[in-house]
Structures are given as structure tokens and as C-alpha cells.
Amino acid sequence: MDDSVRRESGGYIGQSVPRREDKNLLLGQGNFVADIQLPGMVHAAFARSPLPHAKIVSVDVTAARAMNGVCFAASGDDVMAALPPINGMQVVAPQGWRDRVDTDILIPDQPLIPNDKLRYVGEAFALVVADSRYIAEDALELIEPDLKALQPLPDAESALVDGAPLVHEHLGRNVAAFLHAKKGAGAEGLEAASHRLKRRFVHHRYAAMPMECRGVVADYDTRTDTLTIWSSTQVVHWVRREVATALGMPEERVRCIAPDVGGGFGGKGHVYPEDILVAWLAREIGRPVKWVEDRHEHILNAAHSRDNIYDVEIGFDDDGKILALTSSFLVDSGAYTPVGAGIAGNSIAHMLGPYHIENYETDCKVVLTNRTPNAPYRGAGRPEVAFAMERSVDLVANHLGLDPAEVRFRNMIPPEDMPYEVGLTYRDGVAMIYDSGDYPSALRSALAELGGLETIRQRQKDALSEGRYLGLGLGCYVEGTGVGPFEGATVKIDPTGKIMVATGACPQGQGHETIFAQFAADMWQVPIDDVFVTVADTGHVTQGYGTIASRSTVTASGAIKLATDEVHEKVFAIAANLLETAETDLELRDAGVGVKGVPDMHVSYRDIATAAKPGWGHQRPDGVVAGLEATSYYEPPTVTWSYAANATLVEIDPETGQIAIEKYVEVHDAGVLVNPKLADGQVKGGLVQGLGGALLEELAYDDHGQLLTGSLMDYLLPSASDVPPLAVIHQETPSLLNAFGVKGLGEGGAIAPPVVIANAVCDALRPFKAELNSTPVRWAEIAMFFDQNG
């Protein structure tokens, strides 16, 4: 670890520095995409498919185009003639992963507006641009589509039936990817087990559902041949890449900015057709164009997530030691797979969790259906696989009459085995090694927070004797965070001596500007207000990756450090020249460089910046080139491994099946916490999303592929009164993989709640040997157990 930034040094890292983001947002001066208004701006709206699967016979936009106030209208034919589809695989899996995990991948490209057929309810078939959004929506009513309904594929299993119609005929199959991975003897390992259990686990479809829907504004400047795009996205550099590719422009002539973004959680983590279409429209029409998704559109058209079916077999001995595990799972990917097989890849890598299990074999099909495309949402394949795994662990315990906590302790990797080689390959192509952590201690603390295992069991027994049903639910997971391929940062010393930092990270409320300022202030030994941070703007950093996959704290801090190291070298060389001392006698202090032990021998960054300038009168030593600025790219060696133990205590109402959560605990370890208050906020926010997924939220389809939950009246988000008392305890085991010891934590909270709630309910219903192996956990289903057992 770099001594200059250790928290013991009294720096900013490790302190709950107040957020610099808050002020504008609290004063109502935030600037979200919907707030942008440019002179001459016109408004786009999209006509969307009412059918899950339909042949497009014709789409007539003539009447819409002729309407007063409309300046542009286009059908799929018009768009397909002008623009290529989006590359079906926005994230390219590295060769190392493809070599070590068996894959057979056929990813369909996504037409920006199709002209042959429609593949899900909500897919656009035409667009209109008008003087106002009101007029644009009027004009949509005048569009005449002639659609011929085709047999829908409402779910993954129906899409796999022999002779089922194809979602994408040219692929010749409804499977976008087959994956297979194995550890040890794989399925053969089951043979040696004295006990075997087989179960099916279903994790339903729900979604990120940020409070701000998506939106795009684009403005084309003819004189400079430059496009500026403001998109509510987590990945500005991807948007720039895809727009430049589709429109045949150099990337340098496309600038993408994510202004204030009202939540993302993965749902804004890839490029959508509208990002490209709105940019194209601005260039075609020659006026700024705005499109803001409404909530109904968002629910139909923004990516959904989860929606997996797992068939698991688990083999174990009399002591509850798990010997082998197999799983065969389906991901219902909907009509397209914008992030390829990424979710499935995560699931494969995360199944074994914190446990030492010798034999593991898994295969997966990513299945194309007539549902809305499925893309990563907070957890991205981990909540699904954690549900299958952690339910299985409880089933092992119940089968043997052991306590589920005890079975977990017996199988957990002990801290002395860290770093631990898993025997699988991560999706960055590198062999998986859990870098650090103490899993049993996390579980012990979680139980202690609820009063300790013995007390809990006693309370449960006492309650039962009074006819009350108390249940303890547990769930543990590990999480690969801070994944590559890279992040970029530019660090400069401004002529005024202030530190300027720009990174490719793209926040949606995490507080990046604050925490990156903490990092930079410590690296430069300046007051935090001397650091100016720019995020989410391709105009400020040449190459960037974006904020997905719990990666920004790790990867952006790495990039800021590399760029800073480079500038430090010059700063020391120039300071040595100015102070006429050897570099080895110098240190960073008081917003400048000083001679160690000599308080008044000091030059400020401002003086050094002046000395570093190009031109007459500079004071650079020979061989030091002008300027104090560097751009660097951090390519992490592989992921850092965060983890958590979750525990909850619930009481079930036998009449209604209602679940009252007495308390929910997560003991979380994300290495060194840069800003504990913000870290805590991330975990708690994630937990409540996980509870929403467990109990309330559901994107329900009928058997014909129609989405039944098209508003927030049907899709229930947790409100304040749904939130139980939460306790989050942070363990801080530094990562060994980076200078600051940090790991990622954005997603973690959302991973465990579904299985923890299911386990808690099953634990409460142990007298009936009840099993809940699918989500969401419904009261009605719980009440049924009581009915059946009189």
C-alpha cells in the first residue's frame, strides 16, 4: 500500500466526507436530461409494438408526417436504409474466458427500428419528431401499422420446444449462448456422495426501475461536424462508440455527456437504439432533438432482468459437507441480449460462493424469447445463482437435521486459506482467486447482531409453543468486483495550482465526484476543495469504460493513481530544479513540494505549474517535457472479491401469510471503505432493492407474451413503510490487488435478500417441511401451507 495515502496518515480516504453532489440537487438545480432545453429543440416519440411477436407487413407514416407541427417521421424501412443495427455484443468476452469456459455463442444484432418483424411488446416500429412531445404523441396515433401476429414465445421453456418458431430466423435456433464449466470431477463427484438432493429454483423477472426514466438529447453542429449527446446512461464512452460507428463519424467528433442521472442500477448500463436514433435525428433534421422515456415506455422497453430457471443437484456427506454440485440453468434473455452472455457468465462464476466445494459442473442456455431484452441489473446473475445455492444449503441442513448456520460454517473457506484459488475462470479470462476475507466471521457477526444463534433458536421454540412462527433466514455470497478491462483518467495541475481529475466513470448517485476527490486530495496532499472532478463526459477523458459491475471505486482510483504517479514524477523533477535540491529530499506537502524537515523550503503547485509551462522562461530541467498532465488507463489484473453474510428474523402471520421482518442484517466486506457513509448508503439501498425483488416487484407476462404490469400501480416498488429495520456492519479486509486495498460494493446489497427471505419463511414453516423454491415470495403461497396443515 502506498504510504502517502494510508488512512492512518490522517488523509481523506476512510472519512465520511460530505458529498459535493448534494448542494445542487437539494436546491432544485440539478440538471437531468429532461431538464435540458435548447433553442429550436424538437421532440421525438416512438410507436411501439402492442404484440410480442409479429410480422411487419407495412408501416405507413405519411399521415403522421403531414401533420401540423411534425417535422420528421420514419418507419423501420427508413431507419434500416440509413443505419446499421447495434452490435449485438456490446461487451466482448476475452479470449481467455472463451478458451476456458466452453461456449457456443450466436448473438443477434439489434435493429434500431426493425422492418421485418417485431419481437417484444414495446419494440419500436416507427418514430415521429415534432414541435412538442404532445404533438409527437398525437402524430403517433396517425401511424398505420399492418402487423401480422406470429406465434409468441412467452418464456424460455416454450422457446426450447422442438419445432418452436424462431425469434431470429437467421440464427437457426433460439439459444443465444450455450455455456459449460467444470471444476474437479464435475457431475461425477455426485457419485461419491452419500446424500443427494435435486431441486428446481426459479428467480422471476424484475428490473432496475430507476426513478428517472431514460432520456436522450442530441445537438449537431454543422460548422464543426460535431455531435453532442446528453444521455441518461452509465456508459458515455460506449454511447460515443456506437453512435460514431452507426453514423460514420470519428469518435472525436462525438461527445457524450451523462448529466445528473436519476439512478441506473445496470438498467442504463448499455447502449439502446434511442441513443443512436436521437443522435441521428439531430443530424438529419439539423435541430436539437429530445426524447424522454415515459414510465410506461420504460417498463416495456428498458431492459428487464433476472428471470432464470435453475435445476440443481447437490451431493453431501452425513456431516453436511458438500461434495459436489451441478446446475443446469436457463436465462430468459428476451428478444435481444445487449450484454451477451455476461449475466450467465457471472452466475457460473459465483455459484460456489464462500464455500470450498471440490466438484462442480454447470451448463447454461441463454434463451431468446418474445420478452423485453434482459440485461444486467444490480447483482447481474448473482442474486439468481445465490438463490439456487443458498436454498440448496438450507435444504442440506434440513435433510440432515442440522442448523443451516452450522452447515454454512462447515463448508466455508477459512480465512487462513486466503488467497483461495477457486478452480474456475472469471469472465475477464483470469483464474479465479478470492483475494482476501473472513467469511465465517461475517456470518458470526450477522448472527450476533440478531442476538446470537442460541438465543434465536430459543426464541423460535418459545414462539412456536405459543403458535407463533418465527424464522431465521441466512444467505452468504461472494462478489467479483472492479472488473476490467480498464478505466481511464486524466490528471492535470491547472495553472492556478488546482488539481483537475477526469475519469471515464459515470455515476448515478454514488458520489463519485466526492470519493475521487478524496483519493486525489490524499495523493496530492491538498485540501479536498483544491480538487476538481469531472465525470461522465467523453470530452474530458479519451478512453473510458463506465459505471457498471461494481467497478468504479476500484478501477477509477487505479487510473487516477497511474496518471498521478506520472505527473508526480515531473512535479518532483521541476521542484528539485526550483529548490536546487535532490529529488530524494523532497516530499509532497501543503499543496506543493517541500524539502523534508525544512519547513520554509517549499514551492506551491501553482509555481510548479508556471515553471512547467511550454515556452520562454520555463524552469524545467533538461529532458522534462512541458505541461503537467497525464492520461492513464488502469487495467486491473483481475477482480477483487467482496462478500457478505446476511441474516434476518421474520415472523409469519398464519392467517394471511404476511411476513413481518423484525430486522435484516448484512455484514459486508468491500475492503477499505473510502467514504463509510456513502458505502453504507450503497449497501442499504441495494438491500431494499433486493427486498423489493423478494416480495413486491414483478414483471408478469401472460401465456401469450403480453406484459401485465405496465405501470407503477402494478409494478410495486418498496416504499418507506415496506422497509424493515436494517443493520449493515462493515468488515474491512483490504484487497491485495490494488494500492488502496479497495473492493467494489455497488451491487452487493441486492444479491441476498430474495434467498434470505425465502430461507427465513421456510425456517419458520419448518414444522410443515415447507419449501419455497421460487421468487417472489408470496403471502398467498405461505398461507396455503397453514391451510394444508390445518
Partner 1 sequence: MTAKRSITVIVNGECLTGEAEPRMLLADFLRDELRRTGTHVGCEHGVCGACTIIIDGDAVRSCLMFAVQADGAEISTIEGLATNGEMHPLQKLFSEHHALQCGFCTPGMLMTAIDLVHNSNDHSPGAIRIGMSAALCRCTGYVGIIDAVMEYARQVHGDAAVTGDETGGGRNDG
Q: Where along the sequence are the contacts to ligand FES (CB under 6 A)? A: 211, 263, 509
Q: Which is nearer to ligand FES, 239 or 261 (CB)?
A: 261
Question: How many C-beta neighbours within 10 Å does residue 397 have?
Answer: 22
Query: With contact defined as beta carbons under 8 Å apart, do 521 and 714 qualify?
Result: no
- Between residue 749 and residue 788, which ones bind partner 1 under the rule CB under 8 A? 778-780
Q: Indicate which of partner 1, ligand FES, none lies near residue 363 (CB less than 5 to 8 Å, by partner kind).
A: none
Given the C-alpha cell 460456489, which residue does it identify?
Answer: 352
Q: Which is nearer to partner 1, 340 or 693 (CB)?
A: 693
Of the CA atoms within 13 Å of residue 169, those in its CB half-sphere come to 6
Query: With contact defined as beta carbons under 8 Å apart, do 486 and 545 qualify?
Result: yes
Nearest distance in Å: CB 679, ligand FES: 16
Q: How far is CA 784 from CA 117, 132, 698, in A?
A: 43, 52, 21
Q: How many residues bind partner 1 (CB under 8 A)?
A: 73
Query: With contact defined as beta carbons under 8 Å apart, do 179 and 109 qualify?
Result: no
Q: Is 468 in the site for partner 1 (CB under 8 A)?
A: no
Interface map 264-283 toward partner 1 (x if CB under 8 A): -x------------------
Nearest distance in Å: CB 210, ligand FES: 7
Q: Return the C-alpha cell found at 685.
A: 439501498
Q: Which is nearer to partner 1, 100 or 684 (CB)?
A: 684
Q: Is 696 in the site for partner 1 (CB under 8 A)?
A: yes
What is the C-alpha separation between 45 and 32, in angstroms, rounded? 19
| R_g of the chain computed on alpha carbons | 28
State whether residue 57 is helix, strand or coil. Answer: strand
Q: Is 234 in the site for partner 1 (CB under 8 A)?
A: no
Nearest distance in Å: CB 294, ligand FES: 10
Interface map 700-719 toward partner 1 (x if CB under 8 A): -----------xxx--xxxx
What is the C-alpha separation between 6 and 28, in angstroms, rounded? 37
Query: With contact defined as beta carbons under 8 Å apart, do 663 and 170 qualify?
Result: no
Q: Is 417 in the site for partner 1 (CB under 8 A)?
A: no
The single residue among 108, 262, 373, 546 that binds partner 1, judged by CB under 8 A, is: 262
Question: How many C-beta neighbours within 10 Å does residue 719 have?
Answer: 10
What single string gives the DSSP state of each residue in 378-422? TTTTHHHHHHHHHHHHHHHHHHHT--HHHHHHHHBPPGGG-SEEE
Question: How many C-beta neighbours within 10 Å does residue 313 have?
Answer: 18
What is the C-alpha separation between 245 and 672, in angstroms, rounded? 40
The single residue among 295, 356, 457, 730 that binds partner 1, judged by CB under 8 A, is: 295
Q: For partner 1, which stretch binds (CB under 8 A), given 3-11, 174-182, 654-662, 760-768?
A: 654-662
What is the C-alpha separation between 256 and 241, in angstroms, rounded? 10
The single residue among 4, 6, 25, 629 that binds partner 1, judged by CB under 8 A, is: 25
Nearest distance in Å: CB 691, ligand FES: 16
Nearest distance in Å: CB 689, ligand FES: 11
Query: With contact defined as beta carbons under 8 Å apart, do 113 and 125 qualify?
Result: yes
Q: Which is nearer to ligand FES, 219 or 697 (CB)?
A: 697
Q: Which is nearer to partner 1, 21 or 607 (CB)?
A: 21
The single residue among 3, 8, 10, 26 that binds partner 1, judged by CB under 8 A, is: 26
Residue whose Cβ sits closest to ligand FES? 211
Query: With contact defined as beta carbons under 8 Å apart, do 659 and 650 qualify?
Result: yes
Q: Is the peptide bond before 154 cis (omega within 30 degrees of 0)?
A: no
Q: Is 529 in the site for partner 1 (CB under 8 A)?
A: no
Q: Which residues pair with 479 in a beta bridge?
A: 642
The single residue among 4, 6, 15, 32 that binds partner 1, judged by CB under 8 A, is: 32
Q: Which is nearer to partner 1, 221 or 529 (CB)?
A: 529
- Between residue 107 and residue 166, which ones bind partner 1 under the rule CB under 8 A? 134-135, 138
| Core vs surface per residue 473-494: b (16+ CB within 10 A) or e | bbbbbbbbbbbbebbbbbbbbe
Query: With contact defined as beta carbons under 8 Å apart, do 334 and 462 qualify?
Result: no
The single residue among 638, 689, 733, 759 that binds partner 1, judged by CB under 8 A, is: 689
Nearest distance in Å: CB 747, ligand FES: 16
Q: Which is nearer to ligand FES, 362 or 510 (CB)?
A: 510
| Residue 66, phi then psi, degrees to nearest 5 | -80, -10
Q: Which is nearer to partner 1, 499 or 782 (CB)?
A: 782
Nearest distance in Å: CB 724, partner 1: 4
Nearest distance in Å: CB 715, ligand FES: 13
Q: Which is nearer to ligand FES, 656 or 719 (CB)?
A: 719
Nearest distance in Å: CB 663, partner 1: 9
Q: Which residues pair with 648 in a beta bridge?
A: 473, 664
Given the C-alpha cell 418507419, which residue does it identify?
Answer: 75
Nearest distance in Å: CB 666, ligand FES: 20
What single string gives the DSSP state of each residue in 523-583? HHT--GGGEEEE-SBTTT-SS---S-TT-HHHHHHHHHHHHHHHHHHHHHHHHHHHHTS-G
Q: Which is nearer to partner 1, 400 or 783 (CB)?
A: 783
Nearest distance in Å: CB 35, ligand FES: 14
What is the C-alpha separation between 119 and 32, in angstroms, rounded? 31
Interface map 494-513 toward partner 1 (x if CB under 8 A): --------------xxxx--
Q: Which is nearer to ligand FES, 437 or 749 (CB)?
A: 749
